Chains A and B, each alone.
Chain A
Amino acid sequence: MLKLVNLTVKYGNFEALHRVNLEVDHGEIVVLLGANGAGKSTTFQTISGLNKPVSGHIMLNGQSIAGKSPDKIVKMGIVQCAEDRKLFQQMTVQENLMLGGYVHRGKKSRLRATLQEVFELFPILYEKRSNPAGSLSGGQQQMLAIGRALMAKPEFMLLDEPSIGLAPLIVEQMFKSIQQINQEGTTILLAEQNANAALSIADKGYVYESGKVVVQGSAEELLANEEVRKAYVGA
Chain B
Amino acid sequence: MDIFIQQLFNGLTIGSVYSLVALGLTLVYGILHIPNFAHGALYMLGGYVTLTMMVYLGVNYWISILISIITIGILSVLMDRLVFHPLRKSTPIQHKVAAIGMLLFLEALAQLIWGADYRQMPTPYGQVIQFADVTLTVQRLIIVVAAIAVMILLYLFLKKTFMGASILAMAQNREGASLVGINTNKVAVITFFIAGTLAAIGASLTSPINLVFPGMGHLVILKAFVIIIIGGMGSIPGAILGGYILGFSESIGATYISSDYKDIIAFVLLIVILSIKPQGIFAKGGV
Contact = CB atoms under 8 A, between A and B. Distances in A.
Interface of A: 48-50, 69-71, 74-75, 79-80, 82, 85-91, 95, 98-100, 102-103, 105, 134, 148-149, 151-152
Nearest to B161: A105
A86 B179 contact: yes
Given A71-B183, A98-B165, A90 B178 contact: no
B285 interface: yes
A105 B175 CA distance: 19
A102 B180 contact: yes
Interface residues of B, number: 20
Interface stretch (B145-153, B166-174, B208-216, B267-275): B166-174
A95 to B, nearest CB: 7
A71 B176 CA distance: 11
Given A90-B284, A91-B169, A102-B162, A152 B180 contact: yes
A90 B168 CA distance: 9
B181 A86 contact: no
B285 A134 contact: yes
24 contacts: A49-B178, A69-B178, A70-B178, A71-B184, A79-B181, A80-B179, A82-B175, A82-B179, A86-B173, A86-B176, A88-B169, A88-B173, A90-B172, A91-B165, A91-B168, A98-B165, A99-B165, A99-B166, A99-B180, A99-B182, A102-B180, A105-B162, A134-B285, A148-B180
Interface string B177-215: 111111110000000000000000000000000000000
A201 to B, nearest CB: 23
Given A75-B181, A103-B181, A86 B168 contact: no
A233 to B, nearest CB: 31
A149 B173 CA distance: 15
Interface of B: 162, 165-166, 168-169, 172-173, 175-184, 284-286
A89 B168 CA distance: 11
A148 B169 CA distance: 13
Contacts of B166: 99, 102
Contacts of A74: 179-181
B179 A48 contact: yes
Contacts of A75: 181
A70 B177 CA distance: 9
Contacts of B183: 69, 71
Given A99-B165, A102-B162, A105-B162, A88 B172 contact: yes
A75 B165 CA distance: 18
Most chain B CB neighbours (cut-off 10 Å) among A82, A87, A99, A100: A99
A95 B165 contact: yes
Interface class of chain B by DSSP: helix
A99 B172 contact: no
Contacts of A87: 173, 176
Contacts of B285: 89, 134
Contacts of A98: 165
Nearest to B186: A71
Contacts of A82: 175-176, 179
A86 to B, nearest CB: 3
B191 to A, nearest CB: 16
Contacts of B172: 88-91
A70 to B, nearest CB: 4
B175 A102 contact: no
Given A95-B165, A98-B165, A99-B165, A71 B181 contact: yes
A88 B176 contact: yes
Contacts of A70: 178-179, 181
A171 to B, nearest CB: 23
A82 B176 CA distance: 8
Nearest to A104: B181
A105 to B, nearest CB: 4
A71 B173 contact: no
Nearest to A48: B179
A69 B284 CA distance: 30
Contacts of A90: 172, 284
Given A86-B175, A134-B285, A100 B180 contact: yes
A109 to B, nearest CB: 15
A103 B176 CA distance: 14
Nearest to A101: B180
A152 B181 contact: yes
Most chain A CB neighbours (cut-off 10 Å) among B166, B175, B286: B175
A50 B178 contact: yes
Nearest to B185: A69
A86 B174 CA distance: 8
